[in-house]
Chains A and B, each alone.
Chain A
């Protein structure tokens, strides 16, 4: 297994005064309001927040799976309009096509027009970078949840995306597999140089993987939607030591901002 992904042309992501309101009139439900965010090319930004705060909605706007009701989302200066070819999404569930082998599922991520031989080598390389080369011919039902999610990651990487969008990709995995996946994504990001937007509700995960943590939270005024409540630059170069006391202090601070106060020994 080689965890060195091919270098990609990383691109910046810009959100300007982005709103997302579901429904209209009296039934209108404001999810996001006035989101301003600049993600530099090659930067890893974690969108941290409690369940239902709209962080996945925000990611879907960047992916072009959804459209903002106000403001503008741009990738590399160009407005996102429909599915964004420079972005690749990994969802919380692997979402593999059950009738395809792992290799065929990875090939699903390839853009059109590539020659057959380059397609095959790109798929083999992507499977190799996530350590699944020996399982290329397996079907999704025959592999574990962690392997399925690694396949989903390979499907995204094979596009060589300028921006990688991760929507709680480790949330459904067991604790140990989750830590291994975090390290894998960290390695792959550093070797590929891609811009990464990571949606998570896991404070440790955000501190481990991100250059910057953006806390998304509902505004005090109910019905006004979520906004960016806090931005934190995570110190130290990656890969980071999970036992770093600086991270432990930041962890307490972030948890406090998410409404989980610290327990002090009496």
Chain B
């Protein structure tokens, strides 16, 4: 369109008073709002494309249900009271497993990062264990721990352990030697040296390790629930596949994405607050 309306032209001019950025704060809010809108662009386009594909007749509803059908599945599960059970148990498994795995990752990563003999003794074996694909543990865990909660939480813990262990042990081995020497010169040894110098020095790396560990925890949760469970989002995936409820299957995937994003966001918030001290 080559016709220019003088009115819209004036409004589009960035230097016109109507468009001039307001006070700083407002500009910041507007920028943030713009970033959020931009981030939403791809999901919105995705849902639109999904809707078009689903209604194009190329796929049967059992192959690709519409977004509306997935929403209806959500309402259905909520009214049946099942949704919170699935979400609750999966979240509980992830949080418990993450706590156990990240906790032991911190401790073992700490020991191996600080002690040369411990590193020589343990690091190669841990690296070898790390190379085992996650699903390979499942039959063994079922055999040893039965089909209750323990094997699932254990698998999540295994998943959360390695990223935390790796980042903590590597970061500790690379803490500025000068700072450690200052700590020693000013009488810090052992636990006090660790708490006052080494731990704060590795905190940024450790936090990103925790975030990776959490993401891996969700991954391993699905692996555990796919294979042996009667409740949880992973179970919802496999059960809806078996019963041909593709709408519920897609819903479970969306729920996993949302939950993963929320838990990661909480850790990210903690990370930002902490890193403010560093810069």
Contact residues of A between 237 and 258, Cβ < 8 Å to B? none
B47: interface (CB < 8 Å): no
Residues of B within 8 Å of A112, CB to CB, are 187
Contact residues of B between 199 and 245, Cβ < 8 Å to A? 200-201, 203
From known contacts A108-B196, A141-B279, infer whether A95 and B184 are also in contact, taking CB-CB under 8 Å.
Answer: no
Residues of B within 8 Å of A65, CB to CB, are 181, 184-185
Residues of A within 8 Å of B184, CB to CB, are 65, 83
A111: interface (CB < 8 Å): yes
A108 near B200 (CB under 8 angstroms)? no
A93: interface (CB < 8 Å): yes
B257: interface (CB < 8 Å): no
Q: Which of A88, A95, A141 has most chain B Cβ within 10 Å?
A: A95
B186 near A109 (CB under 8 angstroms)? yes
B252: interface (CB < 8 Å): no
A95 near B277 (CB under 8 angstroms)? no
Could you tell me the distance in whole angstroms from the C-beta of B172 to the nearest C-beta in chain A? 16
Write the A131-168 contact mask toward B (1 if CB under 8 angstroms, else 0): 00000000101000000000000010001000000000
A-B interface contact total, Cβ < 8 Å: 41
Docked complex Cα distance between A95 and B201 (Å): 13
8 Å CB contact of A95 from B179, B187, B196: B179
From known contacts A97-B197, A97-B200, A141-B279, infer whether A111 and B179 are also in contact, taking CB-CB under 8 Å.
Answer: no
| Chain A residue with the shortest CB-CB distance to B203 | A99
A111 near B178 (CB under 8 angstroms)? no
Contact residues of B between 15 and 66, Cβ < 8 Å to A? none
Residues of B within 8 Å of A99, CB to CB, are 200-201, 203, 277-278
Residues of B within 8 Å of A91, CB to CB, are 178, 181-182
Docked complex Cα distance between A109 and B203 (Å): 22
Residues of B within 8 Å of A261, CB to CB, are none
Write the B154-196 contact mask toward A (1 if CB under 8 angstroms, else 0): 0000000000000000000000001101101111010000001
| Chain A residue with the shortest CB-CB distance to B192 | A112
Q: Count chain A residues whose beta carbon lies closer than 8 angstroms to a beta carbon of B.
A: 20
Could you tell me the distance in whole angstroms from the C-beta of A209 to the nearest C-beta in chain B? 21
Residues of A within 8 Å of B185, CB to CB, are 63, 65, 83, 88-89
A235: interface (CB < 8 Å): no
Residues of B within 8 Å of A89, CB to CB, are 185
A98: interface (CB < 8 Å): yes
A223: interface (CB < 8 Å): no
Residues of B within 8 Å of A97, CB to CB, are 179, 182, 197, 200-201
Write the A111-133 contact mask toward B (1 if CB under 8 angstroms, else 0): 11000000000000000000000
Residues of B within 8 Å of A159, CB to CB, are 186
Docked complex Cα distance between A262 and B200 (Å): 51
Write the A55-97 contact mask toward B (1 if CB under 8 angstroms, else 0): 0000000010100000000000000000101001101010101
Docked complex Cα distance between A111 and B182 (Å): 14
Docked complex Cα distance between A155 and B200 (Å): 19
From known contacts A65-B184, A83-B184, infer whether A93 and B197 are also in contact, taking CB-CB under 8 Å.
Answer: no
From known contacts A91-B178, A95-B178, infer whether A83 and B278 are also in contact, taking CB-CB under 8 Å.
Answer: no
Q: List 12 A-B contacts (CB under 8 A).
A: A65-B184, A65-B185, A83-B189, A89-B185, A95-B179, A95-B181, A95-B182, A98-B278, A99-B203, A99-B278, A108-B182, A155-B186
List the 8 closest A-B pairs by CB distance, nearest first.
A95-B182, A89-B185, A99-B200, A95-B178, A99-B277, A83-B187, A99-B278, A109-B186
